[in-house]
Amino acid sequence: MIRILALIALAAIVVAPAAQAWTHYGGDQEGTRYVDLDQINTDNVSDLEIAWEYRTGDLAARPEAIHASAFEGTPILNNGNLVFCTPFNEIIALDPGTGIERWRYDAAVAEGLNPANQYVCRGVTPWEDASAADGTRCASRLFMGTVDYRLIAVDALTGEQCEGFGDGGQIQVDPGMTLLWPGEFHFTSPPAVIGDIVIVGSAIGDNARVEAPKGTVRAYNARTGEPVWTFDPIPLVPSDPGAETYGGADGIRAGHANVWSIMAVDEERDLVFLPTSSPSPDFYGGLRPGLNEYSNSVVAVRGSTGEVVWSFQTVHHDIWDFDVSAQPLLTTLTLDGEEVPVVVQNTKMGFVFVLHRETGEPIFPVEERAVPQSAVMGEWLSPTQPFPTIPAPLHPTEALDGSDAWGFTFWDRGACRRRFNALSSEGIYTPPTEEGILMYPFTGGGANWGSAAYDPDTQVMVVGMNRMVHEITLIPADEVVEARNHLDKEVALQRGAPFGMSRDLVMSSFGAPCNRPPWGTLVAVDLSTGEVLWERTRGTTEDLVSFLPAMATGEPALGGPMITAGGLVFEAGTLNYRIRARDMATGRRLWSHRLPAGTPATPMSYEYDGRQYVVIGSGGYGRVGTTMGDSIIAFALPENPRPRREPRYND
């Protein structure tokens, strides 16, 4: 019966209307999040309505586990199907015009794994076997990484596992060491594919221990699953390249620097761009003295061999959890009449590094500037950090004090002021201490995995910025277990280090950030000059504070923006359950629709049977307590146009 249904689905695909594809998680392998469609445009976007909605069934089938998940997936268009993965690693293929399910694959991941980054699957990645004869099973494949660290290949036309890949269609990846708990190591982002090679990074629980799993990047033959190469950002032995930057003469005491976010691919140059994270543990680095080469970096490797071509470090010796969390953006800029291939790297600090794609050299000047040096005994600090001069920082970097506190009322503002005054702040790169610091940007600040979108015609990038404050406090190792038992905040052991840590968002009694708004912005930057063209608040307080009218304070967001040729920016991702469309030229909001659940996802768009659709996943974010759901929703213009109406919005 399964075979019969698969053949029926395949027949439906063969006769399906032509579709213009959003082919990869970020729109394309370069991560531009741009679609060359203009049926929906600034003149008619206010007419958008729901075309169809599909429910995965997770809300009913997994009533407990779903609260440990985040629906961060963005679909792709592949072989006439709209394909996405659920947080629980099911791959689902839908009819792009109706949302009717065509096939479904279940990786059968267990509940109760307690994954460090929740149950998450951001996307799947396609591959075509150019040597296969027409009609060969698994000539078109989809790859997915799972929360129980498997790499899976399925037939893109039927959803059946590709038995010739690995062990019956999957590879069980070895984390390299015994895990503290099953969810310490897992996969969340889509693999990268270059030529006939599929590459996977990993997500690893932060701050559990010093000698933690390594952030090894693994490459496999896309046909057979045979290992091809590995790249270890952390040196394994003192003789490895970069070991001296970890104080490695007596061995390397660090792990991670993993690639948990989305990679970018330049097929023509045989380059894969790896955004690496911080070494372990995040908030104490005295056991890894040195700049910690390859961590917190953009690393360009040969796709065919894994050889490092160049690397550029965005943070030296990170003790702030400032991972390179955004996907590298690949484009070609016209500068002084010359076309220059570049990598644009957005960061948690709000810095934007524009690098030559072939060499890693900065296109615009980057200065090494002195940073604060007061720290706990035994810590090692870099005396300087890299600051790009163009564009200017998209997030404030100045020190905070009580005068920067904010509140809805006199009482909550006063409480925030007292908390600010009780903690130290020397601006960005304030080292953590036992007395506690205000960390701004916070660890989810600036640009996160939602990444940026880019319009190739105007050379304008749009990126979201999160602006909140963390309180970070180091706790002596012999006191950290007791602190975990009585503190109502995150407390991490950092086993093997002389200090554990506590981390807490600095919030008012009303559940709002203590720092001045905006708490979330969307920024447009002309990458040819570095000029900021506009900045808009992103989100309101409608779901944050119920006793006041909605205020345009902005909110932190996870999902990224999408740009269309219709002069529009679409974005969601905030806590107030909305997808929005903005005028690309001004940032003004032109349309908004309330969604059924929290939406930590990036929208996508495609044309199918002559109609343009905008699609967003709306399934919630368990960790922050949003309403949970399991929907994929498609919007389109009505088939019978309505009279034009002028939108009215406050952001």
Structure confidence at residue 249 as a pLDDT band (50, 70, 90): confident
Mean pLDDT across the stretch 176-193?
Answer: 97
pLDDT value for 12: 41
Mean pLDDT of the chain: 93
Residue 135: pLDDT band with limits 50, 70, 90 = confident
Task: Return the percentage of the chain with pLDDT > 90, whole number.
Answer: 87
Across 379-389, average pLDDT: 97
List, for residues 206-239, the tens digit of each pLDDT value: 999 999 999 999 999 999 999 999 999 999 888 8
Q: Rounded CA gap, 263 and 272, in Å?
A: 7
- Would you say residue 334 has pLDDT above 60? yes
| pLDDT over threshold 80, residue 309 | yes
**Residue with the larger pLDDT of the pair 550 and 257:** 257
Q: Are 569 and 581 in contact (CB under 8 A)?
A: yes
Q: Is residue 574 very low, low, confident or very high in pLDDT (cuts 50, 70, 90)?
A: confident
CA–CA separation, 243 vs 256, rounded Å? 14
**Residue 421 confidence (pLDDT) above 90:** yes
Strand order in the sheet with 352-356: 329-335, 338-346, 352-356
Q: What are the tens digits of pLDDT across the range 582-634?
A: 999 999 999 999 999 999 999 999 999 999 999 999 999 998 888 999 999 99
- Show the CA angle centred on residue 374, arms to residues 368 and 379, nearest 5°: 90
Q: Is the peptide bond before 391 cis (omega within 30 degrees of 0)?
A: yes
pLDDT tier at 163, thresholds 50, 70, 90: very high
Report yes or no: 410 and 311 within 8 Å, Cβ to Cβ: no
State the pLDDT confidence band at 1, using cuts at 50, 70 and 90. very low
Facing residues of 105 across strands?
Answer: 91
Catalytic residue IDs: 321
Mean pLDDT confidence for 469-474: 98
Q: Hunting for tokens 């994929």 — which residue is that?
A: 632
Residues 6+ apart with CB under 8 A from 4: none
Instruction: Give the per-residue pLDDT at 7.
Output: 39
A 10 A CB-CB count for 501 gives: 25
**Domain extent listing, the chain:** 398-438
- Give all strands (DSSP E) within 389-469, no chain letters: 437-439, 452-455, 460-466
Residue 495 has pLDDT above 50, yes or no: yes
434 has pLDDT over 60 = yes
| CB atoms inside a 10 Å sphere around CB 307 | 12
For residue 265, what pLDDT band results from cuts at 50, 70 and 90? Answer: very high
Residue 76 backbone phi and psi in degrees, to 5: -125, 160
